[in-house]
Amino acid sequence: MAGRKVQCIGVAKTFETGDAQVAAVAPVDLTFKAGETTALVGPSGCGKSTLLRMIAGLEAPSAGRILIGGEPPHHVARSGGLSMAFQDASLLPWRTVHSNIALGAKLARRPVKEDAIHQLIKLVGLEGFEAQRPAALSGGMRQRTAIARCLISEPELLLLDEPFAAVDALTRARLNADLPPLWRERGTTALLVTHSIDEAVALSDRIIVLSDRPARVVADIPTSDDAHLAVTEALRGAL
């Protein structure tokens, strides 16, 4: 299933906190090409996750609009066309690893393919834990289950909010190598929020650097041999 183009047109977000207003995202205009993997980096608390949640349809923009393949986010989510992995795994505690992953396909109204579930369980290093419930898993194992749950539905748009943050360094390196081919081969559009410049350069085709809050685009960098230096310099200017 091919990925979808994502357009953010004058998108901004302001939160009401008592009598005050907090601007999280300044008006931004961004287009993410279908089938491309883009990393969003920026200072902590700058609005990266807020932007991702608006694209997912979990937050309504205060201004502007978002289109995913020409449709509003909630239309795409309702049809199972997008999937999101959060910083918190958010697994259902009464379901096993296997059934939590299978739930991703069911919620997206996709067929539950046992072979695909077992392949993902193997890829994320959870063989032997299929029948375990989340309470018996480490934080990193729960996060790996959540990532597999996102991928099982073969979404057209994959949103990843620091998905490897709770995973140990060795497992993180393995997942960084093993998982991206799964969505690249399917032509999935992927947006990744990360604090790791190395991860952004390794996983993405393009890196968007955001300023301190309210988030503004300060650099739009295609990945290349010198992308790490360019992102580092852009982040210095973003603070």
DSSP state string for 7-36: EEEEEEEEEEETTEEEEEEEEEEEEE-TT-
Q: What local confidence, expressed as pLDDT, does residue 157 receive?
A: 95
**pLDDT band at residue 236 using 50, 70 and 90 as cut-offs:** confident
| Structural contact between residues 129 and 137, judged by C-beta atoms closer than 8 angstroms | yes
The neighbour count for residue 222, using CB atoms within 10 Å, is: 10
Domains of the chain, earliest start first: 1-81+157-164+187-239 (3.40.50.300), 87-154 (no CATH)
**The whole model's pTM is what?**
0.88
| Structural contact between residues 7 and 67, judged by C-beta atoms closer than 8 angstroms | yes
**Mean pLDDT for the chain?**
89
Higher pLDDT, 189 or 235: 189
Q: What local confidence, expressed as pLDDT, does residue 8 receive?
A: 97
Higher pLDDT, 25 or 185: 25
pLDDT higher than threshold 60 for residue 1: no
pLDDT higher than threshold 90 for residue 100: yes
The token duo for 50 is 């807020």
Asked which of 146-155, 170-179, 215-224 is least confident by mean pLDDT, the reply is 170-179
CA–CA gap between residue 105 and residue 121 (Å, rounded):
14
pLDDT higher than threshold 70 for residue 102: yes
pLDDT tens-digit series, residues 194-208: 988 888 988 899 999
Residue written as token pair 């559009």: 189
Residue written as token pair 């807020």: 50
Q: What is the mean pLDDT of residues 80-101?
A: 90
Q: What percent of the chain clears pLDDT 70, i.e. is strictly above it?
A: 97
Q: Torsion over CA of 71, 78, 85 and 110, rounded to 10 degrees? A: -120
pLDDT tens-digit series, residues 34-64: 999 999 999 888 899 999 999 999 999 999 9
Q: What local confidence, expressed as pLDDT, does residue 218 receive?
A: 93
